[in-house]
Amino acid sequence: MAHSYTPGLKVLNYLKVKKYRILPIAGEVCKKKGELVQANEIVAKTNLPGNVHMVKVANILNISPSDIYDVLKVKEGDDISSGDIIAENSGLFGLFKSDVRAPITGTIESISDVTGQIIMRDQPIPVEIDAYVGGVVEEILDNEGIIVKSDAAYIQGIFGIGGESRGDLKIMVEDRKEELSSDSLNNSLEGKIIVGGSFVTLETYKKALELKISGIIVGGFNYFDLEEILGYKLGVAITGTEDLATSLILTEGYGKINMSEGTFNLLKQHEDKFVSINGATQIRAGVIRPEIVIPLNNKEIPADKGLENKKLGMHEGSLVRVIRAPFFGHIGIVHSLPSALQKMESETMVRVAEVKIDNKLYIIPRSNLEMLETD
């Protein structure tokens, strides 16, 4: 049976999820191997070096840079408080003295007699990392962080904005084809992760922001509305650092597109669970897609652990989604994978698949198909 390797998004009712929780620089790990952790628990902490400030002492005191040591009241490594005198000239016969005061509280990092400036550093900035998902500490990475392992249901979206977020999962629509309505949102949803169907409008998203809803999972959103949320036109799909109270994960793409049945059903199955989501997306080499992690307890882990033993890649009978016009968003089953190149209406010569959509066969370029990895 012919098959081809095709990218696809994961929609799995079981996956052993491993998350690296790493500090930006070396620090202290607060957990032990084998320990159970909750998503919100701090697992490692450190202090980032403070911001650097430069003060041009020679310029201020109108002296030659090489004379800087004659006027300094501090040396490298000294602690300083904002307002402390750090340099002072002797003035004229002891009169008309002028001085330079520290603009910050911190330490003197270096002094240069070439440029006549002092570099000082703010106080350290404390940084803490939490577990992000509930699970077990599988490994300690000395002074760096931990690897947390979680048995979970796992869904990848196609695009997202906003970083990590957590909350109870709440399904807001009856049907996966339904649009998420603004009227259905209220104060009781604060801190929750809500699931819509095919589409969310800009107005509804804005209301979710006001209500401090932690996240929205939905089929589609309009590309041109992103500008109003982000404050800039999104040119490349690299997201995750936006400071948004409500992370947004699109499971299908831009426009109004029904959420796939597998995704919707899996989310529905886990309604009211505490889930972790991350809108961070990076579409470059080493692609990162947004994700929804739903930790499972031992009883919930399915006997059939799914994808691990299944054949990867597209083959006859595979469930696929068309990801480009003219059949964008349609879901079908691969009928055959002819090996010869075929000419499309655009005259592009491509490898194709014959796909059955609503009981009709269509010829579609294989690169315009996405596998729906379900188990």
Partner 1 sequence: MILKTILATDCGSTTTKAILIENIKGEYRLTHRGEAPTTVEAPFEDVTKGVLNAVMEVEELSGRKIIENDQILTSSNENIGVDIFISTSSAGGGLQMMVAGVVKTMSGESAERAALGAGSIVMDIIASNDGRLAHQKIKRIRDLRPDMILISGGIDGGTVSHVVELAEILAAANPKPRLGQNYKLPVIYAGNNKAQDEIRKTLGSMVDLDIVENIRPVLEKENLEPSRDKIHDLFMEHVMQQAPGYKKLMSWTDAPIMPTPGAVGSLIEMIAEKEKITVVGVDIGGATTDIFSVFQGKFNRTVSANLGMSYSICNVLAESGLDNVLRWVPFDIDQKGLTNRIGNKMIRPTTVPQSLEELFIEQAIAREALRLSFKQHKEFAVGLKGIQKERTISDAFDQSSSGETLVNMMDLDLLVGSGGVLSHAPRREQSAKMLIDSFMPEGITQLAVDSIFMMPQLGVLAGVEKKEFGEESRKAALEVFHKDCLIRLGTCISPVGKSKEGDHLLSIEITKSNDELEKVDLFKNDLIRIEVPYKPIKVIIRPSKNMDVGAGVGQEISTKLYGGVVGLILDGRDRPIDIPSDPKKRLEALKKWSDAINEYPQ
Interface with partner 1 by CB under 8 A: which residues?
7, 51-54, 65, 109-110, 112, 114-117, 119, 158-159, 222-224, 233-237, 253-255, 281, 283-286, 323-326, 328, 344-350, 364-365, 367-368, 370
Q: How far is the CB of 205 from partner 1 (least distance, A)?
A: 16
Least distance to partner 1, CB of residue 286, Å:
6
Of 2 and 344, the one with the shorter C-beta distance to partner 1 is 344
Which 8-state DSSP code applies to residue 65?
Answer: G
Cα separation of 354 and 361, whole Å? 6
- What's the rounded Cα separation, in Å, for the pair 246 and 228? 14
Question: What is the spatial distance between Cα 98 and Cα 95, in angstroms, rounded to a whole number?
Answer: 9
Hey, what are 282's tokens?
């990076």
Least Å from the CB of residue 312 to partner 1: 12
Chain mean position to CA 295: 18
Distance CA 74, CA 65 (A): 16
Least distance from partner 1 to the Cβ atom of residue 325, Å: 6
**Is residue 126 reached through a cis peptide bond, with omega within 30 degrees of 0 on the bond before it?**
no
Residue 9: both structure tokens together: 């998004």
Question: Which phi and psi (to 5°) does residue 31 adopt?
Answer: -120, 165
CB of 200 to partner 1, least distance (A): 14
**Token pair 């259905």 in the structure block, residue:** 184
Residue 281 Cβ, how far from partner 1 at the closest point, in Å? 8
Nearer CB in complex with partner 1: 29/213 = 29
- What minimum distance in Å lies between the beta carbon of 252 and partner 1? 9
Dihedral over Cα of 25, 27, 31, 37: its sign: negative
**Cβ closer to partner 1: 85 or 349?**
349
Q: Which is nearer to partner 1, 68 or 152 (CB)?
A: 68
Q: Which helix (H) or strand (E) holds 263?
A: helix 261-269
Shorter beta-carbon distance to partner 1: residue 42 or 341 = 341
Tell me whether residue 102 or residue 153 sits nearer to partner 1 (CB atom): 102
* 179: β partners: 199
Smallest separation (angstroms) from partner 1 to the CB of 255: 4
Angstrom distance (rounded) from CA 133 to CA 148: 8
Helices (H), 165-233: 202-210, 226-230
Q: Which is nearer to partner 1, 179 or 328 (CB)?
A: 328
Whole-angstrom distance, CA of residue 11 vs CA of residue 214: 21
By C-beta, is 13 or 107 nearer to partner 1?
Answer: 107
Residue type, 58: A
